Structure 1
Amino acid sequence: MDVREQVFAVMRGVGFDGDELADGKRLAEDLDIDSTELVEIVVALEQHFDITVDADAEGGFTTVGDLVGCVGRLLSAGSAARG
């Protein structure tokens, strides 16, 4: 399972329908995600992937693809740091 599929799985786990998840979907406008729900999603992603998302980055998430990209970058950076 790739990063995108895992992010989608985490989002389904916190209550989002898999049919509504796509990289271009806007969090607030298309999925009606408010700041509290975004924090819940970020915490679930942190726990699932064992990463830490910078709190300042959360304000920059506007699409599902932004979340996928952030997780991918953090996982790559973690792999590089361990390697």
Structure 2
Amino acid sequence: MATRSAAHSGQNGSNDNTVNLSDPAETARYIENMARELGGLATESGLGFLAFLLRMVEDDAGATAKERGSPAKPSG
């Protein structure tokens, strides 16, 4: 299987966090963080149902990452 990675931009816009997408736990943690960020945007924009759905994605991805052995990372 080929190794895939994604650069995750921090709040300052720098690509300082590369995610190994071949690792299911890291991928789940990445999805959790992206869902958290998108959920915040949805909430700020008054898109309640989208925010709700993204919160469900965030929760499920976090549980999956924990199940697969990826430690929780602080948001931000």
- Assess same fold via TM > 0.5: no
State the structure with bigger RCO (CA 8 A, min sep 6), 1 or 2: 1
Task: Please say which structure displays the higher CA radius of gyration.
Answer: 2
Larger helix proportion, structure 1 or 2? 1
TM-score for the superposition, normalised by structure 1: 0.29
